[in-house]
A and B are shown apart, each in its own frame.
Chain A
């Protein structure tokens, strides 16, 4: 949405310096064993060892907006972002260093996915695609599609298939760990902002104007759906296959059937079910815990 001059209001009340990091604009989170690691604006990397109650800042070199983070195991993780940067941590997210930078630093990277500690793929704007098979010691840039559409997300289905989602209904699949990619006839008309995978070959893609599509065969066949909003979906969690969650840019959290679970929580960039049953939500004004009660009433923020 374009603005003609009104600065977005993000009230943050005075808080302790350690918790301020949790108020930053955060885009993505990953678990390093029991530790939450979230990344976002101005190279912010926020850590929480108590399911998002308290936060601290990780030690990381200065970078610009970080867009995604993934951990191969409890210790080894990668984060990517603008200026084509790839950061690496081998101590569970406590400290980070720059591992690689794209040759063209005007290309932002948008997602990273590791399968084990060696095989990793990062995708980004203008068809940006970069891989490693040695845990990030060397990275190789290449092109996988004819168009230079932005590639927004990458995920691995439970059967091992890799799926990339991108601009203008882009959906790509690779069944050989990324060696070859082919287009999938996309069930979504506009841009696909994200793709997440679950058990039993479950795949969920989502994007522009409240559109989503799910597949139970790792992306061969799709069933589409539409949320009752014109806002785009930019976050999802399917870790509980019985109660998947979708988050939209107009600040709502939804069930598949279009039932709102929470309203006015700010644009949602990431959703993650926590071990205690609550949901961690990130967005423009930071990370929040959300209690989704069993009732049908829209939930309120836990704090």
Chain B
């Protein structure tokens, strides 16, 4: 197929489409009505498991051991006195009420409520020849000062109770276990419902002049995530309005402005409708897809609409203008959307279900855009009333002129070398910083939410008040049934715990053997000289038996003992150091008896995620660049074109990495797709612009002035494209979800800087590479 043929083919396809505009429009309307009904079936699903890298070995261990220790299903409520300490009658009356309220909350496992007011919180006291004990709550408690004082004394005798009181005695903790099944209805627990109940019946009730509360746990976390997701959805209308304004400024025609927006909305309705009919749901990341579909759809639609407006000046007529616009832009438009599709397709390489779903739905959405933008949109333009004559200078044209870029291929070689040299220099300066971007993230608290989110504030407050931990890695030590009666196994675990405690990244190690040692001293009247593991297996049984499985330190047959490592933070370097430390310990272990299985805790998920992101990074980036390069070579039949388009793209990717380093944003399942998608979308500018230069480069006679005018017109569309894309993601910066804000920031950067690279660097490169031939 010769170049001429492909141009002819474009024209023929364009003629076919515009010729059947009425049937296409009617089909589209019917299709839209049918699919729109499916949207009502869509639900917002906060399936958090999908953010876990499903196939990582850590996740198998987590799934296998996690449920035995109920790590997920706990809610912590900290009641904090605004003034004074907890041992006042007023505060204690509230704490009792809070305990009762939580006890009767739907979804709460009433056997697993722990508070100063529950009988399972006990103290023991050494007396001559043994010890005695009882609940820390004095018998027949009423909120009077004398009883409060007795409670304070009892708490002092109980390690268990002391952990429920903050170190400064201003706050008390209530721990609540959740049932796996909702007790009322027998189906799976709805975390969002629990979160709503906590907000309504606990937070609201106990936040006033006297006290405030901090609520932690998976359920309140999901609650806040859901709330933020719904806020995000609210930005959608704002986004469309912003796009309309940009389009109008470029096109200066109300009708032509509405067409690209309508076409993208229709594609979106098809996508959501299909998802609804197929029973899929909107996920915390999937909520971004409508924004991306709108941004990409409208920004490409503006290209054809812009060409239509420029052609449709005077007496040529709308159908002919639509045909001309489509003929010229069918190839670059199809290539550009294909690049976007493939950009999203590459993120399927990231082995995390949620990210893959994002890739899949976005890919489907853009495939639908191909239909809407390249078939429906020209048909609608063809039937539109003719707009008034093209304004002399839209803002895009003016901006292009201001940037002084339009005349590039015809411009002086000196200027071109200067531009390319400057771009290369900037890239070289940025490269060392770009290389320092690490996987993972450094924020203290849940990485999905901002540092100042209610949940993360609660997390830090509880951490500070109760010396609790935020970042924990759990190593599951498998020691066989009744292993805690086996001295060798217990001693090995104690050795492992001691070795891990030596790691500078580890703040604290919690393990059954520590409690067993304390209990051995307890069995010997509290003599600290006995604070060691007894060798005898009967004695071991005695020191372990007071420990309940609800402590999370052992399972029912004492075959698995989790070792909890509380770490200083969850930066990738910290996680790596701890894992290396564990490896070193593990390799020095005698074989048999004790098997250390990795891993549990939030660090396990983060470590697995980091692994997946690290493994995917190179394939994702190599694939997207290979695809874009091959597409340019095939589409334009020119190696020069491919180099001129891909080199600026690569430069921008380097700058994006440097920006991530500067802003302390790590590579995560959310930011890595941005690099791929940013490149896939960033290439569009180059494709459209190169299509304008192509006739001149083919040696078709074209005066320098004509070329500059054509290029400026195309650039005006490119700037409008960029502004539209940016409008689609800029509202994300306001999102309460940190990953979305980060993605919005990086995408904005990629869209804007890729645009600048396309209109400045690409033509300059083209000038350098082609001049010597002519």
Contacts and interface: CB of A to CB of B under 8 A. Distances in A.
Interface in B666-691: none
B531 A3 contact: no
Interface residue SS majority, chain B: mixed
Interface residue SS majority, chain A: loop
Given A7-B515, A209-B126, 9 more contacts: A3-B160, A4-B122, A9-B467, A14-B504, A14-B568, A25-B531, A106-B534, A168-B128, A234-B527
B522 A1 contact: yes
B127 interface: yes
A250 B122 CA distance: 17
Interface string B107-131: 0000000000000001011111101
Given A5-B550, A6-B163, A7-B514, A191 B128 contact: yes
B528 A234 contact: yes
B163 A1 contact: no
A21 B125 CA distance: 31
Given A2-B131, A2-B519, A208-B128, A106 B535 contact: yes
B526 interface: yes
A273 interface: no
Contact of B529 (A11, A42, A110): A110
Contacts of A216: none
A149 B551 CA distance: 34
Interface string B499-533: 00010100110110011001101111111111111
Interface residues of A, number: 47
Contacts of B536: 106
Contacts of B160: 3-6
A234 B529 CA distance: 9
Contacts of A67: 529
Interface string A207-243: 0110000000000000000000011101000000000
A22 B474 CA distance: 27
A189 interface: yes
A20 B502 CA distance: 8
Interface string A60-91: 00001101000000000000001100000000
Nearest to A110: B529
Contact of A6 (B125, B159, B522, B535): B159
B350 to A, nearest CB: 34
Contacts of A267: 528
A65 B524 contact: no
A150 interface: yes
Contacts, number: 133
Contacts of B547: 3-5
A193 B548 CA distance: 30
Nearest to A10: B508
A5 B467 contact: no
Interface of B: 122, 124-129, 131, 133, 156-157, 159-160, 162-163, 467, 491, 495, 498, 502, 504, 507-508, 510-511, 514-515, 518-519, 521-536, 546-548, 550-553, 568
A3 B519 contact: yes
A8 B467 contact: no
Interface in A1-44: 1-12, 14, 17, 20, 25, 27, 41-42
Given A6-B159, A11-B508, A110-B529, A190 B523 contact: no
A269 interface: yes
A27 B528 contact: yes
B527 A152 contact: yes
A108 interface: yes
A191 B552 CA distance: 34
Contacts of A189: 128
**Which residue of A8, A209, A250 has the most chain B CB atoms within 10 A of its CB atom?**
A8
A84 B702 CA distance: 100
B546 A232 contact: no
Given A1-B126, A5-B550, A65 B508 contact: no
Given A3-B515, A190-B128, A209-B126, A9 B163 contact: yes
A105 interface: yes
A63 B125 CA distance: 31
Given A3-B519, A27-B528, A193-B527, A232 B551 contact: no
A121 interface: no
A249 B526 contact: yes
Nearest to A150: B524
A3 B126 contact: no
A250 to B, nearest CB: 7
A202 to B, nearest CB: 24
Nearest to B532: A65
Contacts of A3: 124, 159-160, 515, 518-519, 522, 546-547
B508 A82 contact: no
Contacts of A27: 528-529
A1 B553 contact: no
Contacts of B504: 14
Contacts of B518: 1-3, 8
B525 A8 contact: no
Contact of A2 (B508, B511, B514, B523): B523
Contacts of B522: 1-3
Nearest to A23: B501
Contact of A8 (B127, B156, B514, B532): B514
B548 A105 contact: no
Contacts of B510: 7
30 contacts: A1-B125, A1-B126, A1-B157, A2-B519, A3-B159, A3-B519, A3-B522, A5-B548, A6-B163, A7-B553, A8-B518, A9-B508, A11-B467, A41-B498, A64-B533, A82-B532, A83-B535, A105-B535, A106-B534, A110-B529, A150-B524, A150-B527, A190-B128, A208-B128, A208-B525, A230-B126, A231-B526, A232-B525, A234-B528, A269-B528
